[in-house]
Structure 1
Amino acid sequence: MMDNKDLEAEIHPLKNEDRKPQESQGDPCKSPPPQSRLSRCRSVAFFLSLFICLFVVFVVSFIIPCPDRPASQRTWRIDYNTAAAYNFLATEDINGDRIQDVLFLYKNANSSSHPNRSCIEEGFSVPCAFFAAVSGANGSLLWERPVAQNVTLVQCTSPQPRGSEVVPVCAIVDGPTSVVAVDLFTGETLWNHPGSLEGNSSILSLLLGVPDVDGDGLPDLLVLTKEKEEVNSYVYSSSTGSQVGGKGSLGSNTEGNWLLHVTKTGAYYLLFSCGHSLCSRSMKDLLEEMTGKEIPLKRDPLWEQAINSTTHRVSSPSSGVIRHQLHVPGKAGKDLLLVGTEACVLLDGQNLAPKWTLGDAQVFRKPVLGHYKPDTLAVVIENGTDADRQVLLLDLSTGAILWRQPLPGLSGTPQAASLLTADHRSAFFFWGLPEGVWANQTETRDTLHSLYMFHPTLPNVLLELTNVSSNIVAFEAVLFEPSRHAAYVVLTGLQNLATPGPVSLTKHKIRDCIPDSRVLHLGQDRDSSDQVIRDHFSRLRYRSEA
């Protein structure tokens, strides 16, 4: 028979095991083993870490205030009473609030709103040309500077991220020969190169981004001038404005439309129109001619074969007199779109072979890129003028017509624009005459212009967003904040600097214009009501270019 101890051990084995260590401890005052102290330290460390994390979360969430996000006004307007407007608009985040700001030029018959920066203080007579930057959020003035007596030409660098070594600048031609470089962040003049050309000379074009010639590590400025019948070139340091080397010659048959192109191999070529042909000069050859020294640039073998060494003509299909030439993205670098009086031609940017040709083209405005199909580039061609104008959307890879619409407009009709939407297509914006006056009429000071909006998801619909009776000098569709705030900016006024009048710069949020817009049905298909169509446009979301 089991005794009581054995029976208890069999019934409660754990209890018996727990009792054994206690019996073996001996002295109750003996310190605990090291394992117990380690366990306690781990517990203390865990709870201390948890307390610190909770404290940090509390401080970040409730004590440290979140940075104030600037509130973007849906619309704002700036007015000048006795001024004239220049055909120039640009955007750049100047004040660092992550909202695009607006830059524009105007000529004021009065002094600036800042007496210490008046025309007289800057050495100009009244009136003079002012360069101004206003906040895209609320239209408040960021800076305003007199920069020239009269602006004849302006060229700006592409937007640069803050902290970049390349300072975003605008080069402004004052009169026929003087060039001024302005810092876009501050409006201050970086340098001023007074006119040093011959008496009958004039500046035709400015090209920023020329390979560094003076060795300061920054791209330089190429200035093209006309002296009697000869077109010449000069290079200026973008950091100091000092001339580098002498002048180069582009010949007497040069007509303009200059473009700086970089081939896939990294060779630089200057493209320009010469008669009914396209001409080109290697920048290596041109810069060596101007400086008299070896320039470490490349020549592209394919381009050298395509260019006549004597006439500099490029062997390519004739497009007539070239009115515009622009870069478009290609599979292997940038391709070239030539817009001429006879045709539009897309050339391969590496071997200059034609990819497609659109004949019988009468394009007077610069084409605009966008997306008709998702992630597929298209180009907007405004073909013809006045009552015969048609808006064409072409597939950029094939030249096929994706959409065509008659849209009468006068010679002063602003250029089209596009904004990328979240579905990887684009919303397109066109100016034209209102539907009720789609007939021959002459342009007057109070001609009514309508702004139309189109999206490829509704190919048989146009929205008439607004009507503007004032003379439109410049127009841009801008994504002020990524995925948040798309708006259009209009600069109105007279360009006649001899008779100044009212000038206005206005921003309107696109979404706010849609509820009061007018729906234009382009075909017989009217499956959806006007309100359903407006709601569809209101739901569009916009995104930044990749």
Structure 2
Amino acid sequence: MVLCAEDLSLIKEFLFSRSFNSLLEDTDIAYDFLATEDVNKDKIQDILFLYKNTNSSHSNSSLSCADEGFSCPCTFVAAVSGANGSILWERPVAQDGAFVECGVLQPRGSAAPSACIVLGRPGPLVAVDTLTGKTLWSQPSSFGGNASVLSPLLRVPDLDADGAPDLLVLVQEGNQVNGYIYSGGTGQQVSPPDSLGVDGTSGSILHVTRAGAHYVLVPCGTALCSRSVKGLYEKVGRRDSSLKSDPLWEDMLSATSHRLLVHSSGAIRYLMNVPGKVGDDLLLVSAEACVLLDGQDLTPRWTFGTTQVLRKPVLGHYKPNTPAVLVENGTGSDRQVLLLDLGSGAILWSQALPGLPGDPPSASLPTADHRSAFFFWGVHKTTGSNQTEPGATGHRLYMLHPTLPGVLLELDSVSAPIVAFQVVLLELGRHAACVLLTGPASPNPPGLVSVTKQKVQDLILGGRVVRLAEGGPESDQAVRDRLSRLRYRSEA
């Protein structure tokens, strides 16, 4: 069914108290990207997302694909209000998909305080004013025809001293990964490319050592490839930089392959900066284990054996002010959700929870008691049975708070294909919300794309209590009431 504008406004009004739907035309494709920023300055975070408009005549934008030099269909970025779901702006930014980094501060005196930097696949590097959607600058990329950009775009310190952080783009060209540095304020290339290593994959991070030196880390099979940002800049720029280097890391790095010696039992799938006692440590997830590495000398602090971790772990707090990590171990009917103490690797909580193909990654949100609420997807099975709960259809969202470790709350069931999922604090000190981007993802046939926001508190009040053990001192309604009184805080 295709909805006319009048029907759509009625749906938004009806759903406003609990959620909103920003429904695009039924000829679109969604991309795995969500970001939040206060676009219209109403003190409520708004939502930015990407979609491919396969019928430009039905776009709500005043700009068409052709206006920006793209053929139809092309990729649009859109901003919708976090208050009521109205479209604030949308515009074409790339031919087919893009890498996006939002919230990039612009130089002092710029007309725009922040921008979304978009790198098309293929396409130029474009800065879009977060407030208006207008182009701030556009620069052509200088990659080869067979180049493959690795995600994500990395923010590095302001090397050209224009008051805006710069961007490092890693590109697989032939058998090596090259690094390109671009100004975050103008898009101009700060320095020519230089090689970081060979056989790199997506999932790179920027790590700051205890000496204050910035290093790029790229998974390279069972090893880590690395280069200091200072060395990368100075070698190709032929000028000094105020950035620091770390003698210990320079000694550990191979001068020829730029590889670090790490203890990995299998190919590295995920790499994360995690809080340590002194600076950040490194969590390395391989095919067979999760390993916490000391962030300075890269010695293992602990190792936890796994069977298969296909999603990036999620950080949070199980005990007050004590970091923990949520790991989804295994797949399908063998999947377990684990919470590990980040300091020791000990299991704090575990639950068998079969997963479905297409389940989105887990999430967490800090609560005012210095713990975290954890959100994950799956299908809970009844005790002593191989059958799932009655009515189990689609993707089902569960919530856990560490003060009630024997209880899960089933918040929602979603039958549409989920492309992206976030749990965010849209209003400082007020309500948390689940944001879903649903619809077909490339290369599936086009269909309806929907962005939905639902208040966590509303989902809790209508949620179904799942008891993981017999008995319990509280009724189901008491559990819902208790969780609905949770207050959330920002990460800062």
Structure 2 distance, partners of 1:113, 1:261, is: 41
Structure 1 distance, partners of 2:227, 2:205, is: 11
Equivalent residues in 2 for 1:283-294, closer than 5 Å: 283-294=229-240
Q: 37, 40, 46: which one pairs with 1:92?
A: 37
Question: Is the Cα–Cα contact under 8 Å of residues 92 and 159 in structure 1 kept in the other structure?
Answer: no
Q: Could you say what secondary structure the match of 1:462 adopts? A: strand
Give, in angstroms, the shift of residue 354 of structure 1. 2.0
Question: Is the Cα–Cα contact under 8 Å of residues 347 and 354 in structure 1 kept in the other structure?
Answer: yes
The one-character-per-residue Cα deviations of 1:46-94 (angstroms, maximum 9, x if unpaired) are xxxxxxxxxxxxxxxxxxxxxxxxxx84321111222111111111112
Give, in angstroms, the shift of residue 368 of structure 1. 1.0
Q: Does 1:491 align with 2:437?
A: yes
The one-character-per-residue Cα deviations of 1:12-68 (angstroms, maximum 9, x if unpaired) are xxxxxxxxxxxxxxxxxxxxxxxxxxxxxxxxxxxxxxxxxxxxxxxxxxxxxxxxx
Q: 267, 292, 305: which one pairs with 1:321?
A: 267
Give, in angstroms, the shift of residue 228 of structure 1. 1.9
Which residue number in structure 2 is paired with residue 156 of structure 1? 102
Question: Is the Cα–Cα contact under 8 Å of residues 393 and 413 in structure 2 kept in the other structure?
Answer: no
Structure 1 distance, partners of 2:153, 2:70, is: 26
Which amino acid is 1:471 matched to?
A: P
Give, in angstroms, the shift of residue 439 of structure 1. 6.5
Q: Could you say what secondary structure the match of 2:332 adopts? A: coil
Which amino acid is 1:78 matched to?
A: S
Which residue number in structure 1 is paired with residue 50 of structure 2? 105
Which residue number in structure 2 is paired with residue 278 of structure 1? 224
Q: Does 1:203 align with 2:203?
A: no
The one-character-per-residue Cα deviations of 1:106-149 (angstroms, maximum 9, x if unpaired) are 11223354453222333222222111111111112211111111
Structure 2 distance, partners of 1:86, 1:379, is: 27
Q: Does 1:190 align with 2:162?
A: no
Structure 1 distance, partners of 2:72, 2:228, is: 43
Q: Does 1:76 align with 2:15?
A: no
Give, in angstroms, the shift of residue 448 of structure 1. 0.6
Equivalent residues in 2 for 1:56-455, closer than 5 Å: 73-80=17-24, 81-111=26-56, 113-114=59-60, 116-157=62-103, 167-176=113-122, 178-433=124-379, 435=381, 448-455=394-401
Give, in angstroms, the shift of residue 480 of structure 1. 1.2
**Percentage of pairs with the same residue:** 58
Give, in angstroms, the shift of residue 545 of structure 1. 2.6
The one-character-per-residue Cα deviations of 1:326-362 (angstroms, maximum 9, x if unpaired) are 1112222222111111211112222323221112352
Structure 1 distance, partners of 2:350, 2:259, is: 34
Which residue number in structure 1 is paired with residue 4 of structure 2? none
Q: Could you say what secondary structure the match of 2:145 adopts? A: coil
Structure 2 distance, partners of 1:179, 1:439, is: 51
Structure 2 distance, partners of 1:268, 1:538, is: 42
The one-character-per-residue Cα deviations of 1:420-466 (angstroms, maximum 9, x if unpaired) are 2222211111111354799699xxxx961100011111111111111
Whose radius of gyration is greater, 1 or 2? 1
Give, in angstroms, the shift of residue 262 of structure 1. 1.3
TM-score (norm 2): 0.89
Structure 2 distance, partners of 1:486, 1:411, is: 27
Q: 1:274 to 1:487 in 2, by over 3 A?
A: same
Q: Could you say what secondary structure the match of 2:89 adopts? A: strand
Give, in angstroms, the shift of residue 243 of structure 1. 1.6
TM-score (norm 1): 0.80
Structure 2 distance, partners of 1:95, 1:243, is: 31
Give, in angstroms, the shift of residue 157 of structure 1. 4.4
Structure 1 distance, partners of 2:292, 2:248, is: 17
Q: 1:398 to 1:312 in 2, by over 3 A?
A: same
Question: Is the Cα–Cα contact under 8 Å of residues 77 and 139 in structure 1 kept in the other structure?
Answer: yes
Q: 1:447 to 1:272 in 2, by over 3 A?
A: farther
The one-character-per-residue Cα deviations of 1:486-518 (angstroms, maximum 9, x if unpaired) are 111111100035621111111111111223321
Q: Does 1:468 align with 2:414?
A: yes
Question: Is the Cα–Cα contact under 8 Å of residues 319 and 344 in structure 1 kept in the other structure?
Answer: no
Q: 1:186 to 1:165 in 2, by over 3 A?
A: closer
- Unpaired runs of 5+ residues, structure 1, are 1-71
Which residue number in structure 2 is paired with residue 517 of structure 1? 463
Question: Is the Cα–Cα contact under 8 Å of residues 447 and 470 in structure 1 kept in the other structure?
Answer: no
Q: 1:141 to 1:390 in 2, by over 3 A?
A: same
Q: Could you say what secondary structure the match of 1:418 adopts? A: strand
Question: Is the Cα–Cα contact under 8 Å of residues 44 and 82 in structure 2 kept in the other structure?
Answer: yes
Q: Could you say what secondary structure the match of 1:523 adopts? A: coil
Which residue number in structure 2 is paired with residue 457 of structure 1? 403
Count how many residue pairs are aligned between Structure 1 and Structure 2: 470
Which residue number in structure 2 is paired with residue 32 of structure 1? none
Give, in angstroms, the shift of residue 234 of structure 1. 1.4
